[in-house]
Amino acid sequence: MIDTEMLQLYEQLIPFWSEVCGPGTEICLYDLSDPDHALTAVCNPRPGHEPGDALPAPLKELLQSGFPGPQPWITLPPEQGYRADLCCRVFPIGGTESPVGLLCVTKDLGSARELTGALRTVLDQFALEPPCREPVPAEETSLNAMMHERISTIIMAYGIPPARMSVQEKVEVVHQLRDSGLMNMKGAVSEIASQLTVSVPTIYRYLNKSIRK
- Predicted local confidence at residue 76, as pLDDT: 81
Q: pLDDT category, 15, cuts 50, 70, 90?
A: very high
Pairwise CA distance, residues 114 & 121, whole Å: 11
Q: pLDDT category, 7, cuts 50, 70, 90?
A: very high
3-class secondary-structure state, position 39 = strand
Pairwise CA distance, residues 112 & 151, whole Å: 36
CB 41 within 8 A of CB 14: yes
- Predicted local confidence at residue 82, as pLDDT: 56
CB 174 within 8 A of CB 195: no
Q: Is the pLDDT of residue 130 over 80?
A: no
Q: pLDDT category, 29, cuts 50, 70, 90?
A: very high
Pairwise CA distance, residues 114 & 120, whole Å: 10
- Predicted local confidence at residue 137, as pLDDT: 67
CB 183 within 8 A of CB 192: yes
Pairwise CA distance, residues 101 & 10, whole Å: 10
CB 122 within 8 A of CB 162: no
Which carries the bigger pLDDT value, residue 85 or residue 176? Answer: 176
* Range 38-49 burial, b when 16+ CB lie within 10 A, else e: bbbbbbbeeeee
Pairwise CA distance, residues 69 & 99, whole Å: 16
Q: For residue range 36-82, what is the model confidence (pLDDT) as tens digits?
A: 999 999 999 988 889 999 999 889 988 888 887 667 888 887 665 55
Q: For residue range 87-97, what is the model confidence (pLDDT) as tens digits?
A: 888 999 988 88
Q: Which of 120, 127, 177 is nearest to 148 (CA)?
A: 177
Give the chain's domains with CATH numbers. Answer: 3-112 (3.30.450), 138-208 (no CATH)
